[in-house]
A and B are shown apart, each in its own frame.
Chain A
Amino acid sequence: MVHLMDCYAYTSRWRHRHPAEKAAFAGGLLLLSFFIPLAGLLLILLTVSLVALLGARIPSLLYGRVMTIPMAFILIGASSLLVTLSYPSNHLHIGFAEAGILPAIHLVARAMAAASCLIFFSLTTPTADWMPLLRKFYVPAVVVDLMLMTYRLLFVFAERLSTLQHAQAARLGNLTFRSRIRTTGLIGANLFIRSLDRARRIELGMESRCYNGEIPCLPFERKPSLPVIFGALILCLVIAGFGFLTKRWPYA
């Protein structure tokens, strides 16, 4: 699924927009969603979804599918707020907690609002586009280099892993439970050795291209548009203002 999201991001209609513009919008609302009251959370969810579906034209089916993943976890987590356990007289009593309804709704809304911001960003901005920009935010070069290499090698190893799995399946390595365990172990060992070998070889490859200790990256082709960034921040402020105005509403 993560792979699918990253793949989609490369073809996104908003890919050409500067990552900083998208980060201002999604990041601003993400921060807000940590402490804004309930009505504000719903407004964030609505705004982000509308921008994602109508602005960036993310297919609604994809957006919906991706949103259901955190939703499943959050619902399970929130449902525990609706249950009370007690031992009145030596036997367990499981009851419905009315007092938990409001906190549960708050929890779901808060988590989904935050998730929608992250999902919006990752469906419009491929990893390879935003990682190089971390340098500008004073993230240490070693960390950025590690992230870039990890991202690149993730796919190399994923490809290798699927080849290994197919090869083992072709030799009937997963017929029984026992052989499946054994096969998994062999694949893991093989992958480990290969990753060491790959690391050594990619180091040679980089040295051949005059690598000098830091992976240089081209900056994003366009400059970030200041009006867009300001627009996004003003939108955040408006939503924040509205959210805190509703603080005295019932259920807020």
Chain B
Amino acid sequence: MPDCILEARDLHYRYPCGKVALSGLNLRVTAGRKLAVLGANGSGKTTLFLCLNGTYKPTTGTVLLNGKPTGYTRTDLLAWRKQVGLVFQDPDDQIVGGTVIQDIAFGPLNLGHSHEEARRIAMETMDRIGIADFAERPAHELSHGERKIIAMAGILAMKPKLVILDEPTAGLDPSWTERIIELLNAIHQNGTTVVLSTHNMDFAYEWADEAVILARGATLCLGPVGEVLARDEEMRSARLYPPLLLQTARYLGLAGDGAPVRSRRQLLDRLSKSKIKNTES
């Protein structure tokens, strides 16, 4: 059985105002995989994420980190958040430093690194992402896309084993979206497990290994992304629409037989192959 890095068992969460956000949610995050969390607005994605890094303590239910139930003391939370980094949807909720380097060094300094080490880690992280020239700029002068990258860098600098991102591409133009996806793929290749929520089914379909559908604070289904997104009944019940690629492949009769059509490239390849076949016959 593959390594399960983080698991949620029967999570319930009720906000102090009485609103129920999670009601019996189950989730397994496999180490080294890319997981997309899908669900309509208000389905509990953000609450789930805040439970998964210990910010919220579930009303009932357990979160297991590396197979062990998590504790909620200061030391437990510190160790937990060192392993599980959470990037918020709104970067302004997360950026605290006046300048970019001050902000990125915030996490490493909290983890107890010395000033020199924290500066070195921050510079390394910025180099890796290609934003080294931002170091001395003030956070408030950056664009929304730049701030999103900075917020991610702030978490990556803490070197978590698992990164959770709340809608990392929401509100970004295509070129920023592409940069963020490249970055996610790069950290995944370095061995980091990546979990993200998105409303972009096409992106989820192309990018993720696994997907989970949430609706009304509970898991509808969890599995390989190709299978999950093809389950029309669950998708409809969660108020989600299947990705265009999948619809097109089905329409053209390409789904099901042979290699799956998971990207634009694959679709075009299959189309051109079948076209050649058609002209030959």
Which A residues form the contact surface with B (CB < 8 A)?
A: 6-7, 10, 15, 126-129, 131-132, 148-149, 151-152, 155-156, 159, 198, 201-202, 204-212, 215-219, 221
Contacts and interface: CB of A to CB of B under 8 A. Distances in A.
Contact of A126 (B96, B106, B110, B138): B138
B90 interface: yes
B77 to A, nearest CB: 8
A210 B107 contact: yes
Given A128-B99, A201-B93, A10 B115 contact: no
Contacts, number: 107
Interface stretch (B78-86, B191-199, B211-219): B78-86
Interface of B: 50, 53, 55, 74, 77-78, 81-82, 85-86, 88, 90, 92-99, 101-102, 105-107, 109-111, 115, 118-119, 122, 136-141, 154-155, 158
A218 B119 CA distance: 7
A208 B102 contact: no
A249 B49 CA distance: 74
Contact of B101 (A148, A152, A210, A218): A218
13 contacts: A7-B141, A152-B95, A155-B139, A159-B140, A202-B92, A206-B96, A207-B81, A209-B154, A210-B158, A211-B106, A212-B74, A218-B102, A218-B105
B92 A215 contact: no
Contacts of B139: 152, 155
Nearest to A210: B110
Contacts of B155: 208-209
A215 B88 CA distance: 19
B94 A208 contact: yes
Pick from B97, B110, B140, B155 the residue with the most CB of A within 10 Å.
B140
Nearest to A159: B140
B98 A127 contact: yes
Contacts of B109: 216-218
A206 B155 CA distance: 11
Given A148-B98, A156-B92, A218-B119, A210 B82 contact: yes
